[in-house]
Amino acid sequence: MHSAFTERNFRIIDQLEEIAKQKGKTVLQIALAWVMHQPTITSPIVGANTVEQLKEILGALEVKLTAEELSRLDQISRWSEEG
């Protein structure tokens, strides 16, 4: 199995999907909003091939994640000793 297909990553995706559904946003928008809240990230590097993709990316700027949502995503993505 490819290293991206881990239980940890599936749990992160599940949380992103749940929050996206609650907010009426896409998973990409929630993921970008979450990344932009990380203190060690100054600017996410993204790319778009179409105007539609650019609009979706820019939509992440409108996403307001609550402290609880950020905490859930941070907790679920934390690396453990087991990997």
For residue 80, tell me if it sits in a domain.
no
Place of tokens 């859930």: 72
Report residue 81's pLDDT band, with 50, 70 and 90 as the boundaries. low
Domain total of the chain: 1
For residue 83, tell me if it sits in a domain.
no
- Residue 2, pLDDT > 70, answer no
Cβ atoms within 10 Å, residue 32: 21
For residue 1, tell me if it sits in a domain.
no
Q: What is the pLDDT of residues 16-44, one digit of tens each?
A: 999 999 999 999 999 999 999 999 999 99
Look at residue 4 in the predicted model and tell me its pLDDT.
78
Backbone angles phi, psi at 51, to 5 degrees: -65, -40
For residue 54, give its domain range. 7-75
The C-alpha angle 20, 36, 2, rounded to 5 degrees, equals: 70
State the average pLDDT for the chain. Answer: 92
For residue 13, tell me if it sits in a domain.
yes
User: For 40-52, b where at least 16 C-beta lie within 10 A, e where not — what string?
Assistant: eeeeeeeeeeeee
- Its pTM stands at 0.87
Q: What is the pLDDT of residues 54-63, one digit of tens each?
A: 999 999 999 9
For residue 2, tell me if it sits in a domain.
no
- Residue 71, pLDDT > 60, answer yes
